[in-house]
């Protein structure tokens, strides 16, 4: 009888420790400050895109108001926004046949960025290009608009 109760206590204790350490699932909650406009961090993270300009982006912890429930991990940091590529760069990147770019809708982005999406963009996406930029090291989605010379990026742990 004593072994059963000791085993039950150990199982309950292990469960309590596991639940205390698991924290909450990340959920988008953009409340981390103003839209950023500097390009250097983006050029460093997404070197294949080359020089960027006219950037509008957010970099934030996906666990809204992370009030000590968990320590932010690299995969909790979302980098999302728009930037202009050098003249002709978007057309050059999308013209590589092996990348197999095709039309794709922009999808949902944080409200703060909605006004920065070019209205006349025809977005092109390639899973192969995503993998090329990220090197498989982090999840990321990159849409290019050759018509506007713009990239839309949405990545985790990119910096």
Q: Is 49 domain-assigned?
A: yes
Of residues 156 and 75, which shows the higher confidence score?
A: 156
Q: What is the mean pLDDT of residues 133-154?
A: 96
The residue assigned the tokens 């090329």 is 132
Q: Is 53 domain-assigned?
A: yes
- The CA distance from 106 to 142, in Å, is 10
- The CA distance from 100 to 38, in Å, is 30
Q: Is 13 domain-assigned?
A: no
Angle 64-113-51 from CA coordinates, rounded to 5° = 110
Domain count of the chain? 1
- The CA distance from 80 to 68, in Å, is 24
pLDDT at site 18: 28
Domain limits for position 150: 26-156
Residue 138 class from Cβ within 10 Å (0-12 exposed, 13-18 middle, 19+ buried)? middle
Q: Is 65 domain-assigned?
A: yes
pLDDT at site 25: 40
Q: Which residues pair with 84 in a beta bridge?
A: 53, 150
Q: What is the mean pLDDT of residues 64-72?
A: 55
Of residues 62 and 49, which shows the higher confidence score?
A: 49
pLDDT at site 89: 97
**pTM (2 decimals)?**
0.74
Mean pLDDT score across all residues of the chain: 79
Q: Is 105 domain-assigned?
A: yes
Q: How confident is the model at residue 76 (pLDDT cuts 50, 70, 90)?
A: confident
The 10s digit of each residue's pLDDT in 79-138 is 999 999 999 999 999 999 999 999 999 988 999 998 999 999 999 999 999 999 999 999
Of residues 100 and 60, which shows the higher confidence score?
A: 100
pLDDT at site 60: 84
Q: Is 1 domain-assigned?
A: no
Q: How confident is the model at residue 5 (pLDDT cuts 50, 70, 90)?
A: very low
Does 69 have pLDDT greater than 90?
no
Q: Is 104 domain-assigned?
A: yes
């Amino acid at each position: 009888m004593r072994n059963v109760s000791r085993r039950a206590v150990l199982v309950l204790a292990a469960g309590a420790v596991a639940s205390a350490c698991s924290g909450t699932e990340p959920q988008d909650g953009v409340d981390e400050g103003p839209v950023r406009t500097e390009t250097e961090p983006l050029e460093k993270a997404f070197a294949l895109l080359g020089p960027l300009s006219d950037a509008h982006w957010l970099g934030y912890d996906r666990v809204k108001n992370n009030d000590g429930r968990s320590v932010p991990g690299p995969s909790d940091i979302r980098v999302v926004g728009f930037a202009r590529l050098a003249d002709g760069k978007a057309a050059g990147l999308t013209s590589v046949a092996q990348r197999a770019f095709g039309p794709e809708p922009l999808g949902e982005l944080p409200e703060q960025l909605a006004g920065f999406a070019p209205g006349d963009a025809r977005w092109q996406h390639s899973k192969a290009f995503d993998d090329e930029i990220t090197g498989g090291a982090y999840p990321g989605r990159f849409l290019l608009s050759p018509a506007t010379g713009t990239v839309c990026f949405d990545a985790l742990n990119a910096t």
